[in-house]
């Protein structure tokens, strides 16, 4: 082979290497810019469960990057200085797929950060609390996604069933409290296993989903439900999802008591006694699948008891032609503002105590920015409500008092974790600061 032929034979692989280096450096620049923009925009705090990546173990293989369901268009995870990194923490939804695919176990899923704690009930890897016989699954345990709630509900019921006593004088083997995604899955699993169960919900089928505004788009992932098989939804409406679940209930014949609030649970010999708004029951085991919202968080300002102040949105059309203030900066608040702004003749404003919507999904933040640019929604960031009157609301925005005409207020400031209820039962609650 002549020297010319030799060098020509090396040209293709050299071009591939050069192209890869250019591409790699380009992705590094994008990752660096994305990371810096998140910091400058105040979007560097994750809202819930999120990955911590051990850079000493990470090999930069990008498995986690490709597995992230939020990756398309958002660059939640990326490669920074040769290692995986959470570039846009505020966009992380706690799916956990990154940890599952990591080939070197470099990822740990944690709650909270060093500066923002998250209250989480203590549970072991079988979802059992520090009170033997009481289990927790779903949103209450910090797992807010529908898919995660369903998976936890199934797994918790499977673990619970293995620890049931061989004989008992209690009326039920297990009482499931809550009929949201986790409670529904647990109920289906209990029926599949042939258990003597009872499911209670203080409202209706769907839990938190039931409280969503009319027409809200619900995001989830395909997941297997006991007895019925795979649920194929990826994006659907609240109404379609609830109708699907109601169809499952009708088909399987599972039993759920609605409009029954559990007020107390006490240990009783070899089981538990539950007191509800309708009576009392005994059970060998308890599975708590209630939400984290608990009691709506109130503002504590004069005039909050006026009829125009509510704490959730059901139907945006009821506010047609009105001046509406949304208080809050999470997804519920932004989605309420967007849907009401689309109703005819509305004037919508948002008051939020922070200077950015760091806890909301990127899609909602982007839409809010569009609506604010076109004056369909007016933003009062870094503001707090100080007074409410029948005709107006007063805001304090960095020391400046602002009064705006107002006919309706929706407070979406989150809920108070039912810590008191849990502590009465004896369940320990700990504040996580970036720990698993």
Give the model confidence (pLDDT) of 7-60 as tens digits.
667 677 777 777 766 666 666 666 666 666 665 555 667 767 788 889 899 998
Bridge partners of 352? 381
Inform me whether the pLDDT recorded for 381 exceeds 70. yes
This prediction's pTM: 0.70
Dihedral angle, C-alpha 21, 24, 30, 35, nearest 10 °: -130
CATH class of 119-294+417-432: alpha beta
Domains 3-110 and 297-414 share a fold: no
3-state helix, strand, coil split of the chain in percent (to 5) is 30, 30, 40
Q: What is the pLDDT of residue 410?
A: 95
Q: What is the pLDDT of residue 82?
A: 83
Q: What are phi and psi of 360, to 5 degrees?
A: -100, 155
120 pLDDT band, cuts 50/70/90, is confident
Dihedral angle, C-alpha 239, 331, 414, 292, nearest 10 °: 60
Distance CA 55, CA 104 (A): 11
Distance CA 436, CA 434 (A): 7
Q: What is the pLDDT of residue 32?
A: 65
Inform me whether the pLDDT recorded for 382 exceeds 90. yes
- Domain spans of the chain, in order of start: 3-110, 119-294+417-432, 297-414
295 pLDDT band, cuts 50/70/90, is low
Indicate the pairing of strand 197-200 with strand 256-257.
parallel
Distance CA 186, CA 257 (A): 15
Inform me whether the pLDDT recorded for 148 exceeds 90. no
Domain 297-414 has CATH 3.50.50.60: yes
64 pLDDT band, cuts 50/70/90, is confident
Measured between alpha carbons, how far is residue 164 from residues 157, 195, 270, 287, 423 in Å?
11, 10, 10, 13, 24
CATH class of 3-110: alpha beta
């Amino acid at each position: 082979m002549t020297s010319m032929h030799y060098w020509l034979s090396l040209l293709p692989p050299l071009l591939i290497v050069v192209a890869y280096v250019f591409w790699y450096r380009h992705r590094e620049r994008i990752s660096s810019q994305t990371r810096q923009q998140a910091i400058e925009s105040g979007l560097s705090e994750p809202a819930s469960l999120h990955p911590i990546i051990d850079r000493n173990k990470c090999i930069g293989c990008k498995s986690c990057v490709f597995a992230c369901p939020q990756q398309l268009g958002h660059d939640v995870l990326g490669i920074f200085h040769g290692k995986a990194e959470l570039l846009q923490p505020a966009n992380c939804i706690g799916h956990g797929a990154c940890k599952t695919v990591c080939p070197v176990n470099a990822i740990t899923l944690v709650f909270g950060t060093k500066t923002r704690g998250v209250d989480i009930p203590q549970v072991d890897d079988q979802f059992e609390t520090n009170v033997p016989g009481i289990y927790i699954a779903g949103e209450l345990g910090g797992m807010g996604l529908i898919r995660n709630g369903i998976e936890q509900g199934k797994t918790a019921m499977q673990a619970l069933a293995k620890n049931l006593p061989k004989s008992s004088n209690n009326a039920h083997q297990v009482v499931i409290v809550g009929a949201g995604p986790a409670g529904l899955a647990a109920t289906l699993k209990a029926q599949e296993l042939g258990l003597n169960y009872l499911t209670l919900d203080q409202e209706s089928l769907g839990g938190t989903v039931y409280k969503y505004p009319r027409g809200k788009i619900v995001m989830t992932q395909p997941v297997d439900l006991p007895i019925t098989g795979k649920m194929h939804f990826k994006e659907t409406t609240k109404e379609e999802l609830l109708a699907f679940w109601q169809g499952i209930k009708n088909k399987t014949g599972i039993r759920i008591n609605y409009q029954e609030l559990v007020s107390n649970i006490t240990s009783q010999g070899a089981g538990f006694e539950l007191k509800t708004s309708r009576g009392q029951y005994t059970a060998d085991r308890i599975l708590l699948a209630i939400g984290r919202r608990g009691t709506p968080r109130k503002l504590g300002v004069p005039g909050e008891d006026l009829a125009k102040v509510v704490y959730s949105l059901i139907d945006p059309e009821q506010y047609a032609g009105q001046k509406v203030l949304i208080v809050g900066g999470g997804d519920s608040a932004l989605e309420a503002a967007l849907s009401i702004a689309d109703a005819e003749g509305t004037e919508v404003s948002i008051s939020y105590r922070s200077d950015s919507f760091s806890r909301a999904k990127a899609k909602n933040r982007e839409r809010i920015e569009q609506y604010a640019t076109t004056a369909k929604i007016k933003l009062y960031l870094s503001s707090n409500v100080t007074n409410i009157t029948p005709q107006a609301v007063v805001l304090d925005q960095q020391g400046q008092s602002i009064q705006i005409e107002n006919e309706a207020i929706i407070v979406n400031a989150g809920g108070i974790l039912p810590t008191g209820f849990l502590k009465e039962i004896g369940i320990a609650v700990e504040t996580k600061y970036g720990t698993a």
